[in-house]
Amino acid sequence: MPNAQSATTVRDATEADLADIMDIYNDAVLNTTAIWNDNVVDLANRQDWFAARMARGFPILVAEVDGRLSGYASYGDWRAFEGFRHTVEHSVYVHKNARGHGLGGLLMQALIERAEAGPIHVMVACIEAKNEASIRLHEKLGFRTTGTFLEVGTKFGRWLDLTCMELRVGENG
Ligand SMILES: CC(C)(COP(=O)(O)OP(=O)(O)OC[C@H]1O[C@@H](n2cnc3c(N)ncnc32)[C@H](O)[C@@H]1OP(=O)(O)O)[C@@H](O)C(=O)NCCC(=O)NCCS
Protein backbone atom coordinates (compact mmCIF):
# COMPACT_ATOMS: atom_id res chain seq x y z
CA MET A 1 0.00 0.00 0.00
CA PRO A 2 1.39 3.46 -0.90
CA ASN A 3 2.42 5.78 1.95
CA ALA A 4 4.02 9.21 2.22
CA GLN A 5 7.51 7.73 1.65
CA SER A 6 6.55 5.52 -1.30
CA ALA A 7 8.28 6.02 -4.64
CA THR A 8 5.63 6.07 -7.36
CA THR A 9 6.35 6.05 -11.07
CA VAL A 10 4.19 5.82 -14.18
CA ARG A 11 5.75 4.27 -17.29
CA ASP A 12 4.91 2.35 -20.45
CA ALA A 13 4.05 -1.30 -19.91
CA THR A 14 6.21 -4.09 -21.29
CA GLU A 15 5.32 -7.72 -21.91
CA ALA A 16 7.01 -8.54 -18.59
CA ASP A 17 4.19 -6.64 -16.83
CA LEU A 18 1.38 -8.72 -18.30
CA ALA A 19 1.14 -11.29 -15.49
CA ASP A 20 0.62 -8.49 -12.93
CA ILE A 21 -1.83 -6.72 -15.25
CA MET A 22 -3.72 -10.01 -15.66
CA ASP A 23 -3.99 -10.41 -11.87
CA ILE A 24 -5.46 -6.90 -11.45
CA TYR A 25 -7.83 -7.48 -14.37
CA ASN A 26 -8.99 -10.86 -13.07
CA ASP A 27 -9.62 -9.48 -9.58
CA ALA A 28 -11.87 -6.85 -11.19
CA VAL A 29 -13.67 -9.59 -13.15
CA LEU A 30 -14.31 -11.68 -10.04
CA ASN A 31 -15.05 -8.97 -7.48
CA THR A 32 -16.27 -5.77 -9.17
CA THR A 33 -18.72 -4.40 -11.70
CA ALA A 34 -15.92 -2.42 -13.36
CA ILE A 35 -15.74 -5.13 -16.05
CA TRP A 36 -18.94 -6.78 -17.19
CA ASN A 37 -17.33 -10.15 -17.86
CA ASP A 38 -17.85 -13.27 -15.78
CA ASN A 39 -14.76 -15.14 -17.00
CA VAL A 40 -11.15 -14.57 -16.03
CA VAL A 41 -8.49 -14.33 -18.74
CA ASP A 42 -5.15 -16.10 -19.17
CA LEU A 43 -1.73 -14.73 -20.07
CA ALA A 44 -2.21 -15.47 -23.78
CA ASN A 45 -5.32 -13.26 -23.73
CA ARG A 46 -3.34 -10.34 -22.24
CA GLN A 47 -0.48 -10.94 -24.71
CA ASP A 48 -2.95 -10.66 -27.61
CA TRP A 49 -4.43 -7.50 -26.06
CA PHE A 50 -0.94 -6.01 -25.62
CA ALA A 51 0.04 -6.81 -29.21
CA ALA A 52 -3.20 -5.33 -30.57
CA ARG A 53 -2.77 -2.08 -28.61
CA MET A 54 0.89 -1.74 -29.65
CA ALA A 55 0.01 -2.41 -33.31
CA ARG A 56 -2.50 0.47 -33.18
CA GLY A 57 0.00 2.76 -31.42
CA PHE A 58 -2.19 2.95 -28.31
CA PRO A 59 -0.57 3.37 -24.88
CA ILE A 60 -0.62 0.95 -21.97
CA LEU A 61 0.69 2.68 -18.86
CA VAL A 62 1.51 1.11 -15.51
CA ALA A 63 1.99 2.65 -12.07
CA GLU A 64 4.65 1.21 -9.81
CA VAL A 65 4.85 1.81 -6.06
CA ASP A 66 8.24 0.88 -4.61
CA GLY A 67 8.82 -1.29 -7.67
CA ARG A 68 5.50 -3.15 -7.39
CA LEU A 69 3.05 -2.88 -10.27
CA SER A 70 -0.03 -1.34 -8.63
CA GLY A 71 -2.25 -0.21 -11.49
CA TYR A 72 -2.59 0.32 -15.20
CA ALA A 73 -4.48 2.40 -17.73
CA SER A 74 -4.96 2.14 -21.47
CA TYR A 75 -7.22 3.17 -24.30
CA GLY A 76 -8.44 1.69 -27.54
CA ASP A 77 -10.86 2.46 -30.33
CA TRP A 78 -14.25 3.62 -29.09
CA ARG A 79 -16.10 2.38 -32.18
CA ALA A 80 -14.65 0.47 -35.12
CA PHE A 81 -15.81 2.83 -37.91
CA GLU A 82 -13.33 5.21 -39.49
CA GLY A 83 -15.28 8.34 -38.57
CA PHE A 84 -14.69 7.62 -34.88
CA ARG A 85 -10.89 7.50 -35.29
CA HIS A 86 -10.24 10.56 -33.11
CA THR A 87 -12.19 9.16 -30.15
CA VAL A 88 -10.97 6.52 -27.70
CA GLU A 89 -12.44 4.61 -24.78
CA HIS A 90 -10.12 3.99 -21.86
CA SER A 91 -9.89 1.84 -18.77
CA VAL A 92 -8.04 2.35 -15.49
CA TYR A 93 -7.48 -0.22 -12.76
CA VAL A 94 -5.68 0.09 -9.45
CA HIS A 95 -4.75 -2.95 -7.34
CA LYS A 96 -7.27 -3.44 -4.53
CA ASN A 97 -4.59 -2.79 -1.88
CA ALA A 98 -3.47 0.46 -3.49
CA ARG A 99 -6.78 2.26 -4.10
CA GLY A 100 -7.57 5.69 -2.63
CA HIS A 101 -3.96 6.93 -2.69
CA GLY A 102 -3.98 8.92 -5.89
CA LEU A 103 -2.72 6.27 -8.32
CA GLY A 104 -5.88 6.34 -10.44
CA GLY A 105 -5.46 10.10 -10.83
CA LEU A 106 -1.77 9.80 -11.72
CA LEU A 107 -2.42 7.12 -14.33
CA MET A 108 -5.26 9.11 -15.88
CA GLN A 109 -3.24 12.35 -16.04
CA ALA A 110 -0.49 10.47 -17.87
CA LEU A 111 -3.01 8.82 -20.20
CA ILE A 112 -4.64 12.16 -21.02
CA GLU A 113 -1.18 13.54 -21.89
CA ARG A 114 -0.68 10.65 -24.30
CA ALA A 115 -4.08 11.33 -25.83
CA GLU A 116 -3.14 14.98 -26.32
CA ALA A 117 0.01 13.92 -28.15
CA GLY A 118 -2.00 11.26 -30.05
CA PRO A 119 -3.67 13.42 -31.21
CA ILE A 120 -6.98 12.25 -29.80
CA HIS A 121 -9.95 14.60 -29.75
CA VAL A 122 -12.32 12.93 -27.27
CA MET A 123 -11.87 10.35 -24.51
CA VAL A 124 -14.90 8.32 -23.44
CA ALA A 125 -15.38 6.50 -20.13
CA CYS A 126 -18.28 4.11 -19.67
CA ILE A 127 -18.68 3.39 -15.97
CA GLU A 128 -21.10 1.30 -13.93
CA ALA A 129 -23.44 3.94 -12.52
CA LYS A 130 -22.80 2.99 -8.87
CA ASN A 131 -18.99 3.10 -9.22
CA GLU A 132 -18.64 6.32 -7.24
CA ALA A 133 -14.84 6.17 -7.05
CA SER A 134 -14.48 6.06 -10.82
CA ILE A 135 -17.14 8.70 -11.48
CA ARG A 136 -15.53 11.01 -8.89
CA LEU A 137 -12.09 10.41 -10.38
CA HIS A 138 -13.32 11.31 -13.86
CA GLU A 139 -15.21 14.40 -12.65
CA LYS A 140 -12.00 15.63 -11.00
CA LEU A 141 -10.20 15.22 -14.32
CA GLY A 142 -12.77 17.35 -16.14
CA PHE A 143 -14.93 14.62 -17.69
CA ARG A 144 -18.61 15.53 -18.22
CA THR A 145 -21.44 13.04 -17.81
CA THR A 146 -23.23 12.61 -21.12
CA GLY A 147 -25.91 10.27 -19.82
CA THR A 148 -26.81 6.98 -18.19
CA PHE A 149 -28.14 3.91 -19.97
CA LEU A 150 -30.47 1.99 -17.69
CA GLU A 151 -30.20 -1.78 -17.19
CA VAL A 152 -28.02 -2.35 -20.28
CA GLY A 153 -25.86 -4.94 -18.49
CA THR A 154 -26.05 -7.67 -15.90
CA LYS A 155 -23.63 -9.18 -13.40
CA PHE A 156 -23.90 -10.78 -9.97
CA GLY A 157 -27.59 -11.42 -10.61
CA ARG A 158 -28.69 -7.81 -11.06
CA TRP A 159 -29.17 -5.25 -13.83
CA LEU A 160 -26.44 -2.66 -14.26
CA ASP A 161 -26.75 0.95 -15.42
CA LEU A 162 -23.95 2.51 -17.51
CA THR A 163 -22.90 6.13 -17.01
CA CYS A 164 -20.97 7.58 -19.94
CA MET A 165 -18.56 10.48 -19.53
CA GLU A 166 -16.48 12.41 -22.07
CA LEU A 167 -13.47 14.67 -22.11
CA ARG A 168 -12.66 16.98 -25.00
CA VAL A 169 -8.90 16.45 -24.81
CA GLY A 170 -7.05 19.70 -24.13
CA GLU A 171 -10.00 21.25 -22.32
CA ASN A 172 -9.12 19.78 -18.92
CA GLY A 173 -6.98 22.75 -17.93
C1 LIG B 1 -11.67 3.72 -9.79
C2 LIG B 1 -10.18 3.61 -9.43
C3 LIG B 1 -9.36 3.43 -10.71
C4 LIG B 1 -9.75 4.92 -8.74
O5 LIG B 1 -8.37 4.84 -8.49
P6 LIG B 1 -7.79 5.30 -7.07
O7 LIG B 1 -6.32 5.26 -7.13
O8 LIG B 1 -8.45 4.49 -6.01
O9 LIG B 1 -8.36 6.80 -7.00
P10 LIG B 1 -7.60 8.09 -6.47
O11 LIG B 1 -6.96 7.79 -5.15
O12 LIG B 1 -6.72 8.63 -7.56
O13 LIG B 1 -8.84 9.05 -6.20
C14 LIG B 1 -9.40 9.88 -7.22
C15 LIG B 1 -10.67 10.52 -6.69
O16 LIG B 1 -11.67 9.52 -6.54
C17 LIG B 1 -12.19 9.57 -5.21
N18 LIG B 1 -12.41 8.25 -4.68
C19 LIG B 1 -11.49 7.28 -4.55
N20 LIG B 1 -12.07 6.20 -3.98
C21 LIG B 1 -13.35 6.55 -3.75
C22 LIG B 1 -14.46 5.87 -3.19
N23 LIG B 1 -14.34 4.59 -2.74
N24 LIG B 1 -15.66 6.50 -3.14
C25 LIG B 1 -15.79 7.77 -3.58
N26 LIG B 1 -14.77 8.47 -4.14
C27 LIG B 1 -13.57 7.87 -4.19
C28 LIG B 1 -11.14 10.21 -4.39
O29 LIG B 1 -11.76 10.78 -3.26
C30 LIG B 1 -10.46 11.15 -5.30
O31 LIG B 1 -11.11 12.38 -5.26
P32 LIG B 1 -10.71 13.47 -4.14
O33 LIG B 1 -9.26 13.78 -4.37
O34 LIG B 1 -11.60 14.58 -4.42
O35 LIG B 1 -10.93 12.85 -2.83
C36 LIG B 1 -9.91 2.43 -8.44
O37 LIG B 1 -10.74 2.59 -7.32
C38 LIG B 1 -10.15 1.06 -9.04
O39 LIG B 1 -9.25 0.51 -9.67
N40 LIG B 1 -11.34 0.51 -8.87
C41 LIG B 1 -11.69 -0.82 -9.40
C42 LIG B 1 -11.67 -0.83 -10.93
C43 LIG B 1 -12.50 0.28 -11.50
O44 LIG B 1 -13.59 0.57 -11.03
N45 LIG B 1 -11.97 0.88 -12.58
C46 LIG B 1 -12.66 1.91 -13.30
C47 LIG B 1 -13.56 1.27 -14.32
S48 LIG B 1 -14.47 2.52 -15.20
Q: What is the pLDDT of residue 143?
A: 98
CB distance 108 to ligand 1 below 6 Å: no
Ligand 1 atom nearest 136 alpha carbon: 16
Q: What is the pLDDT of residue 44?
A: 98
Could you tell me the CA-to-CA distances from 24 to 69, 83, 163, 168 in Å, in that order?
9, 33, 22, 28
The residue whose CA has the least distance to atom 5 of ligand 1 is: 104
Distance in angstroms (rounded) separating the CA atoms of residues 172 and 140:
9
Q: What is the pLDDT of residue 172?
A: 58
Residue 95 above 90 pLDDT?
Answer: yes
* pLDDT band of 4, cuts 50, 70, 90: low
Give the predicted TM-score (pTM) of the model.
0.95
Domains delineated in the chain: 8-168 (3.40.630.30)
User: With contact defined as beta carbons under 8 Å apart, do 24 and 34 qualify?
Assistant: no
pLDDT > 90: percent of the chain: 92
Overall average pLDDT of the 105-122 stretch: 96
The residue whose CA has the least distance to atom 20 of ligand 1 is: 133
3-state DSSP assignment of residue 99: coil
pLDDT tens digit string along 142-154? Answer: 999 999 999 999 9
The residue whose CA has the least distance to atom 25 of ligand 1 is: 133
* pLDDT band of 1, cuts 50, 70, 90: low
